[in-house]
Amino acid sequence: MRLVFLGPPGVGKGTQAELVASRFHHPKISTGDILREAVRNKTALGLQAKACMDAGKLVPDAIVIGIVKEKLAEPVCANGFLLDGFPRTVPQAQELGALLESKGLRLDRVINVSVSREEVVRRLTGRRSCPKCQAVFHVDFAPPQKAGICDRCGGELAQRSDDRKETVEARLSVYEQQTAPLIEYYRQQGVLSELDGSGRIEEVNRRLMALLTAKGLA
Ligand code: AP5
């Protein structure tokens, strides 16, 4: 299974990709998680990426393409992978396509997740995540058992710095300008599937599983 999860920030891509990844034991590659880890560890990559991320802008294509190429070369990706948050520009999609083609592979599906803009803002501003294990919660929709504490590892939950309201607006407009064109790009390649991301996490996951089953992927 080689899937891409596409959609605006906060639509629930990461949440659904995580559920599919654990169900089918495929690695989930989230460029956002990888970049945030680099920022936390103050690596050269992190230092380069931080300013873009804090401003809600995209990190330059060459950087993220390099990250993904490295990840996809790992043996754990040989039998499939789920890409969450990549590609995000047409050049990134072209590079991914060329890389897969050079290995005789192709994407099975690109899942385009959508909800209303209002819902996206609610999901983003209420999101809390664990800086230690990357588990994601929501203060109202997916609260941890103990407020502020990660159910998985006991870490202290935090709000992402780019989930503040003003940065959220910037991210949404970057999405419209630079990422939304990928919907048409992949539709023309015949690999796009639309997923209604509204409703509870479990409901969305049921729809996603039905979609994957209908495509012979689950
Ligand atoms: P990244 O981390 O990829 O952020 P994003 O795409 O903006 O996506 P999010 O993680 O915000 O949202 P999501 O759709 O995964 O939602 P989630 O499942 O968490 O990127 C961050 C930054 O890194 C970018 O701005 C950029 O600077 C850089 N970057 C990353 N990739 C890049 C690339 N390829 N090129 C260039 N730059 C790149 O859900 C959100 C919340 O809603 C959670 O709290 C969750 O619990 C809740 N929720 C989920 N589903 C539901 C539901 N059905 N009902 C109610 N609540 C729900």
Task: Judge whether 103 counts as a catalytic residue.
Answer: no
Confidence at residue 94, expressed as pLDDT on a 0 to 100 scale:
98
pTM: 0.95
Domain map (residue ranges) of the chain: 2-26+79-214
Confidence at residue 194, expressed as pLDDT on a 0 to 100 scale:
98
- Asked if 20 and 100 touch (Cβ cutoff 8 Å), the reply is no
Task: Judge whether 171 counts as a catalytic residue.
Answer: yes
What are residue 6's DSSP bridge partners? 112
Question: Ligand 1 test: best mutation among 113, 128, 129, 136, most atoms within 8 Å of CB?
Answer: 136
Centre of ligand 1 from the C-alpha of residue 66, in Å? 20
Alpha carbons 49 and 107: distance in angstroms, whole number: 27
- Any idea which residue has 């992927």 for tokens? 217
Rounded to 5 degrees, what angle do the CA atoms 10, 78, 26 make? 40
> 10-residue block means of pLDDT along the chain (218 residues)?
97 96 96 94 94 96 96 94 98 98 96 97 95 92 96 96 91 97 98 98 98 96
Which residue in 202, 194, 197, 122 sits closest to 165, CA to CA?
Answer: 122
Centre of ligand 1 from the C-alpha of residue 73, in Å? 24
Domain 2-26+79-214 has CATH 3.40.50.300: yes
Nearest atom of ligand 1 to the alpha carbon of 126: 44
Centre of ligand 1 from the C-alpha of residue 110, in Å? 16
- Asked if 101 and 210 touch (Cβ cutoff 8 Å), the reply is no
Query: Which residues, other chains included, contact 204 with Cβ-Cβ below 8 Å and sequence gap of 6+?
Result: 12, 16, 113, 195, 196, 197, 198
Look at the alpha carbons of 32, 38, 44, 49 in this order and tell me if their dihedral is positive or negative.
Answer: positive
Token pair, residue 204, equals 């969305």
Q: Which residue in the list 71, 88, 109, 128 is annotated as catalytic? A: 88
Confidence at residue 141, expressed as pLDDT on a 0 to 100 scale:
94
